[in-house]
Each structure stands twice: as structure tokens, then as C-alpha cells.
Chains A and B, each alone.
Chain A
Amino acid sequence: MFNFLKDKLKDAVDKVGEKIKKEEEPIEDTPIVKEKVKEKKEEVKKEFEKEKLHEEIEDKGFLKQIKEKVTTKKISEEKFEDLFQDLELALLENNVAVEVIDKIKSDLKNDLVDNPLSRKNIEEQIKTSLNKSISSLFGNFPDILDKINKKPFVICFVGINGSGKTTNLAKVTNYLQKNKKSCVLAAADTFRAASIEQLQIHADKLDVKLIKHTYGSDPAAVAFDAIKYAKANDIDVVLIDTSGRLHSNENLMAELKKITRVADPDLTIFVGEAITGNDAVEQAKTFNEQIGLDGIILSKQDIDEKGGAAISISYITKLPILFIGVGQELDDLEQFNKDKILQQLGLE
């Protein structure tokens, strides 16, 4: 799935490594420096002062300073900008949002700029640093089953038009049923043509009760009725399907706020597409700010092997990716595995 990004990142890391190596060559005359140091310690000390290394000199033993001087190299800020370019390009090509690349960049910068780096394994250090930065983007990934702590447990699915809310709601229902949880669905998308019929077909296939009203009715009322039904019939989980809406549409976002106010969901899941580009940031941010999200399902991951959207959305919301959607069938739902992704990126 992330093979493409993996290769690209590897390439970029290699290139950065090479660049650094090339830059180092002119300083190959270090043994001479060593000799001089032995002879004229005082002079070298002055040289160091010129190079603005006062603090280190005060902090560390003199011999250690010399050792560091000859075996490590620092990357200046300017040099870093230059080195990061290839990496930036690789991330861009893999659909990571520009805003998120900036964050990765500043993380790497903190790690690498003006810190002594060992000459031998600069590549390794960049990799570790990048690994640290990217893995810090992903939160913890609990199993949805562990989250279900009350009865009925209410889950609300939100997202923009066509992101795959209904399909993934059906998949999650399937997953919960397999784990012995009873479910009821709420057709709270009362706007889009045939949305209720679509959910009905899924409900029939899954053999669960669907609570529905007519088109144009109040979605919050549908959610309310479904929860009432769950309480009366001792059902474990209520899954609410809402209509897709663009985060820029204030009226529709207000409607969504009403639904979440009435239903008071225990888990609000944002369904986002793996193929979304820079807008993923804006979408996730707005939904999170307006209604408060608890988790993410990344749909259509099977379409695109670039891992960018996962990185972007995780960074912006700091929320766990609960599942990834990998196809059209009910079983095409996978748990998101951070280690697996890092591994696939070639970072672990």
C-alpha cells in the first residue's frame, strides 16, 4: 500500500545522505588539525573561540571537544533548507499536505540543525529523526471494541459528500456483529436521494434494524428515535449515518451540531478519503473544531498507495485512525497499524 512512498522516501534519504557526504569532503584535512592541536593547544583554543563554540568548551572536557570537532559535522540552517528539498518533494508527490510537511520539516530541523552529527551514519540519523517525526503524527490506535463502555454506545459517522460514510458504517456494523455486539442503524441522512434505500439494503444484508423517517425530516429526530429503540430493546451499539456535507457550508454544519447535541454520541467518526490532497487538512480541522471528532476512518485506501492523507489527517486532528477502508465489500475493513505503516515507509 505504501510502497510508492517508501521508495520515494528511501531515494530522498539516500540523496540527502549523499549530499552531506559530498559537502564533507573539503574538511578531509582533519588529521592535520589534529596534529596542530597536539602541538599548539592554546592556538586551537582560540580558533574554537572564533567558531563560537564557547559553551561547549566550558561544558566538556578539552579532549572530547577535539574528538567531536573531527568526527562530527553540523548542518547549518541554510544547508538544511537545501538538504530538505528532496525530501519535501518526495512527501509532496505522496500527497502529504503542505502544512504537514512544514511540521515535519521543523521537527527535523530541531533534531538536526546545529546538533553535532556523527559522520559515519548520517543517513541513519536522518532516518531515525524522520521516523520520530512521522510516528509522532499518529496517536494511539485502540480497537473500537475496547471503547464500547456503555449501553447503548452511540457512534456517529460524519464527512464530506461521497467520502464513504454509509459504506463504512455498514462495514463497522459487520465488524461489531462479528464480535457479538447487537446493533441498530439510524438513517439520519434525510437529504440525499436514495440514501435511506441504500442503508436499508445494507441493513437487510446485515440483518439489523434500521430506524428511518421520510426524506426532508429532521435528522436529529431519527437519531433520537434510534437511541430510544436501542434502550427499549437492550441493543449494544447505535450507528448513525449522516448526510455528507462540505465543511464550508455553515448551515449544514449547524445542522450537524444539532444532531450531535441531540444524540450526544460516544464516538464521532470522521470518514475521510485516502485520495484527498491538501484539502484533507481543512476538512478534518473544520469538522473537528465544529463538532469534535473522536476517530478517523480512512476510506478508499485501496485506490491509492500514497500514504499522504493518513499522515495529514492524523497530524491535524491528533486523532487515531480506527480503520482503513480497502474495498467495496463488507469485509474490506482493516485495522490501522502504525508500525506496519512505518515499516512500509522503510523507517523501521
Chain B
Amino acid sequence: MVLENLSTKLKDSLKKITSALFVDKRLIEDLVKDLQRSLLAADVDVQLVFDLTNKIKERALEEKPPKTISQKEFLIKIVYEELVDLLGKEKSEIKIERKKPFKIMMVGLFGSGKTTHISKLAKYYSKRNFKIATVGLDVHRPAAPEQLLQLSKQINIPCFINTEEKDPIKIYKQFEEEYNNYDILIVDTAGRDALSDDLIQEIKTLKSTIQPDESILVISADIGQAAKAQAEAFQKSCNVSSIIVSKMDGTAKAGGALTAAASTGAKVKFLGVGEKPDDLESYIPERFVSRLLGMGDLETLLEKAKEAISEEDAKDLGKKFLKGEFNLIDLYEQMEAMKKMGPISKVMEMIPGMSQMKLPKDALQVQEDKLKKWRIAMDSMSKKELEAPDEVLDGERIARISKGSGLNSGEIRDLLKQYKTVKKMMKMMKGGSPDKLMKKLKLPGM
């Protein structure tokens, strides 16, 4: 689970506050020590950690809480606010100007995930109706242009490369006439060490040729104390305006990567959370901290749901719920939509309260496997069986479906039981407003 350890540690620190009888200097000292340790273990720059904890200490000792909240709540509020401040304050987005083309240049260390994230960004913006093209200027790493080409093809986006040419500037100029046909042009550059002089000279020249509207630094979540120096060097040479933190789906706590932003002034805009083109999340500091502290992240969940389910689908389904019409086809669609939102473990993390419930990882895996099986079972059903399962499904039909899907009849009955539970829930909710997306999100089996 993303950030599991850091989040457990921080939650423990906060628990100490809530269970303490009163707030005194010792409690604050303890809290500060705990915070320091968890932040350092999360690779946050040592200097930043001490700046932060000093600030928290100072505020906790000096500021008086407003009358409406208790001193304990106030302390948690200070921690929350300072963490949000450290992790980037507020959400900021890349503003795509309507010019042809809006140029984005990707830079970063070797193996940080530049090329992979180009395909993610391209997918993200093409979903939002921009016309995108990619340009491959990594002439150093073997087969880098081929990688960009293959990734672009997967998402149906044109890609300009020249595998013969070894001068990135020449390659860029070769296709210059084409660029005006696109809204956004994303340029891949070679991975480099930001402290190596000749590589930096190359990127500087590239930058002055391309004149990018946006320079995005891709930085890996597991980078340690080197993060700050690297980010600052990239900032100096190519004026980085945005940051994407990659590999957030691992166990790394990304403290180094996220706070590196603080030292450059550039903002973290996206998080990479997987290997597929869809595995990109907007980065919103408040939500991120909420998730860290176990307060849940409904907004990200809703955003994902929105992408997974079109508005119209949602309305249709809403109406059906209202009428109490709900059949296996709807359940199927619901499962499909959930699949698009990602693995259950990720979805669960974002639901307020759920992240604090210690659901065993295995249990979620079992649930995920079940969903897979149910989909297979439903694929083996006839249209009639899907539309009116209550009327037609008898032992004989179940035996047939079991044969067709390769599942045992117990598993088919399990599915039917689940279907009935969801249907019952839907009926119970009839009174509420059907348009609310959350209703659709009721997780099957939870």
C-alpha cells in the first residue's frame, strides 16, 4: 500500500496527542521527535525536517488555540498545516495555453521514468480533447526513441523520431513544420545527471532551441538525500516549472522527491502510480497530507470515478436505482467501472475512515480475485439470465454456467448472493438523491 509505513508512524504520533491528558511541553517535544524520525525515514531533506519541526514547536508553544477548538485539536491542526506547507501548499495545475503547439519538455535523471510519463501525460491530455504529438530526443540511451514510438502507438498518438541522427537539435528541427498541427507537443530528452557539466550544456542548448512553455522534471519516489541537489541543479539549467514524482506505487515514501520541489519553487503536479498509461494522479498537497494522516481522500476517489464512469452512464444507473430496477448487467458495469479506478486496495485507501481500518492485504486480494471470477461467470450467462436473474436462474442453469465458466456452482451462488445484497442496498437508498456518484461506488462485497 502506498506510503503505508510513513502514514502508520504519523498516525501513531497523532494518536499520542489525542490520548494524552493535556498538552504540555513534553508532549510537544515527543511529537517533534516522532515527526523528525518519520520524516527522515521518508527521505525528506535533513535541513527541511529540522526547519519544519522547529516551526511546529514554536507555534505549538506560542500560539493560543481559538476558543472553539481544544488544544489537542489545535496541535493536530498545526501539524497538518505545516505538513501541507512542506509538501507544496496548494494544488497547482499546468495551464495549457491555446497556442499551437504548447511545448512541454521532460527532463530528469537516468531511469526516473521520463518516457513512461510522456505516454501518461499524452493520454491524460488527449482524454481532455487536446491533440498531442511526442518527439524523441534521447539520442544517448539505446532504443530510447523506439520506446517512445511504441508507447505513443499504444495510445494512438503521433511520434516524431529519427533513429539515425545523433544530434537532438537536428532531429527537433527536422520535424518543425509538423508541430503546428498539434495543441501539445511533448519532448523526451536523455536522462542526465544534473551535476554533470557536458550533459547540462546539452540540455541548455536544447532548451534554447525548443523554447518550452513548460519544463517538467521527473523524479523517482525512492530518491534519497540527493534529491535536493539534483532538483536545484535541474532548476538552474532548465528552469523547471513542474515536477512529476514517479514510482509512487512502491514502498518509497517520496519525502525527498516531494520536498525537493520546495527548494526549487517548482510545484509537484502529478504522481505516477503504476506502469500503465492511466496510472497518473493529480497531486494535491492537502489531500496527500490527509491521506498520510489517515483522514481519507474522497476528492481523488471522486475524480477517478468521474473518469471511469461517464456522466450519462451515471444518470442512467441513477434512474434505475430509483425505480428499483437493478440486474446483473448493472452489477457487471459497476464492476467494470471499479476496475477502471484501479485495484481495490488503492480505492480503499482513499475512502475516509477506511484507511484507518486495518484491512489485511490478503483480504483485499481475495476480494479482487472474487471480482475477476464473477466477471467470468457473468460472461457465461445468457442475456435473459443477466437481465432477470431472480426469475430464471435455477439449479440447472447454474450448473450450466458453472460448466461454461469453469467455476464451481458455489462461486456462482456467491455472485448471486452478492447481487441480491447490492440490490437490497439500492432499494434502501431509493429515498436519497440518485445522481450522487458515491452511491454507484458502493463496493460490491464490502
Residues of A within 8 A of B (CB): 89, 92-95, 97-99, 160-164, 167, 191-195, 197-198, 200-202, 246-250, 273, 275-280, 282-283, 286, 300, 302-304, 306, 308-309, 328
Q: Give complex CA distance A167, B142 in Å.
A: 9
CB <8 Å contact, A282 and B224: no
Write out the residue numbers on chain B whose beta carbons fall within 8 Å of the beta carbon of A162. 110-113, 220, 247
In contact, B109 and A275 (Cβ under 8 angstroms): yes
Q: Which of A98, A247, A273, A304 contacts B40 (CB 8 A)?
A: A98
Are A92 and B46 in contact (CB-based, < 8 A)?
yes
Give Cα distance in the complex from A97 to B49, angstroms: 15
Q: How near does chain B come to A37, taking the closest CB pair, in angstroms? A: 42
Looking across the interface, which residue of chain B has its beta carbon closest to that of A205? B142
Say whether, besides A92-B40, A194-B143, A279-B43, A308 and B224 are in contact (CB < 8 Å).
yes
**Contact flag A276-B111 (CB < 8 Å), given A160-B247, A200-B143:** no
A248 adjacent to B146 (CB under 8 Å): no
Residues of chain A with a CB closer than 8 A to B227's CB: 277
**From residue B377, how far is it (CB to closest CB) to chain A in Å?**
22
The CB with the most chain A CB atoms within 10 A, among B224, B225, B230, B251, is that of B224
Residue of B nearest to A197 (CB): B143
Report yes or no: B226 in contact with A283, Cβ–Cβ below 8 A.
no
Which chain B residue has the least Cβ–Cβ distance from A191? B275
19 A-B pairs in the complex with CB atoms less than 8 angstroms apart: A92-B40, A95-B225, A98-B37, A163-B111, A192-B147, A194-B144, A194-B148, A195-B143, A197-B146, A197-B147, A246-B249, A273-B222, A279-B250, A280-B222, A282-B252, A300-B110, A300-B193, A302-B196, A308-B225
Q: Which of these, A160, A193, A286, A328, contacts B140 with CB under 8 Å?
A: A328
Task: Give the most central of B42, B148, B222, B253: most A CB within 10 Å.
Answer: B222
- If A194-B143, A201-B142, A303-B226 touch, does A98 touch B193 (CB 8 Å cutoff)? no
Chain B positions within 8 Å of A278 at CB level: 41-43, 224, 252-253
- Given known contacts A89-B46, A162-B110, A303-B195, is B225 in contact with A279 (CB within 8 Å)? no
How far apart sit A194 and B46, CA to CA, in the bound complex (Å)? 38
Question: Within the complex, which residue of A163, A200, A201, A277 is in contact with B43, where a contact is CB–CB below 8 Å?
Answer: A277
B-side interface size class: 35 or more
Closest to A99 in B: B41
B141 located at the interface, meaning its Cβ lies under 8 Å from any Cβ of chain A in the complex: yes
Instruction: Assess whether B212 is interfacial by the CB under 8 Å rule.
Output: no
Judged by a CB distance under 8 angstroms, whether B296 is at the interface is no
Cβ of A20 to closest chain B Cβ, rounded Å: 23
Q: B150-172 interface mask toward A, CB cutoff 8 Å, 1 = contact, 0 = none? A: 11001000000000000000000
Given contacts A161-B111, A278-B42, contact A248 B224 (CB under 8 A): no
B41 surroundings in chain A (CB, below 8 A): 97-99, 278
Q: Please measure, in the bound complex, the distance between the C-alpha atom of A152 and the C-alpha atom of B228, giving whole angstroms.
A: 45
Q: In the bound complex, how far is the Cα of B146 from the Cα of A89, in angstroms?
A: 44
Bound Cα distance A278, B42 (Å): 7
Query: Is the Cβ of A246 less than 8 Å from the Cβ of B247?
Result: yes
Known A194-B146, A194-B147, A201-B142; contact A275-B224, beta-carbon cutoff 8 A:
yes
**B43 surroundings in chain A (CB, below 8 A):** 277-279
> Which applies to chain B's interface (DSSP): helix, strand, loop or mixed?
loop
B256 at the A interface (CB under 8 A): yes
CB contacts under 8 Å to A, within B181-208, are: 193, 195-196
- A304 to chain B: closest residue by CB: B226
Which B residue's beta carbon lies closest to that of A215?
B150
Which one, A95, A98, A248, contacts B249 given CB within 8 A?
A: A248
Contact of B109 among A99, A282, A303 (CB under 8 A): A303
Nearest opposing residue in chain B for A196, CB measure: B143
CB of B143 within 8 A of CB of A198, answer yes
Cα A99 to Cα B110 with chains together (Å):
27
Known: A193-B151, A198-B146, A275-B230. 12 other contacts (CB 8 A): A97-B41, A98-B37, A192-B147, A194-B148, A194-B150, A248-B250, A275-B224, A276-B224, A279-B252, A283-B250, A300-B193, A303-B193
What 3 A-B pairs have minimum CB-CB distances, sorted nearest first? A277-B224, A162-B111, A194-B147
- The answer for the CA separation of A198 and B150 in the assembled complex, in Å, is 13
CB nearest neighbor in B for A93: B46
Roughly how many angstroms separate A92 CA and B193 CA in the complex, as a whole number?
22
B223 close to chain A: CB less than 8 A: yes
Chain B: minimal CB distance from A198 (Å)? 4
Chain B residues within an 8 Å CB radius of A92:
40, 46, 225
Residues in chain A near residue B141, CB distance under 8 A: 167, 198, 328
CB <8 Å contact, B46 and A249: no
Residue numbers in B under 8 Å from A161 (CB-CB): 111, 113, 116, 247, 275
Q: Return chain A residues, CB-CB under 8 Å to B144.
A: 194, 198
Nearest A residue (CB) for B149: A194
Contacts of A195 in B (CB 8 A): 143, 147
A128 to chain B, nearest CB (A): 26
Nearest neighbor of A325 in chain B, beta-carbon distance? B110
Chain A residues in 8 Å Cβ range of B196:
302
Flag if A306 contacts B147 (CB, 8 Å): no
Whole-angstrom distance between the Cβ of B275 and the nearest chain A Cβ: 7
Contacts of B112 in A (CB 8 A): 162
B111, B249, B255: residue with the most chain A Cβ atoms closer than 10 Å = B111
Interfacial chain A residues near B111, Cβ < 8 Å: 161-164, 273, 300
Interface members, chain B 38-57 (any A CB < 8 Å): 40-43, 46
Question: Once the chains are docked, how many angstroms separate the CA of A275 from the CA of B110?
Answer: 11
Nearest B residue to A170 via CB reads B142
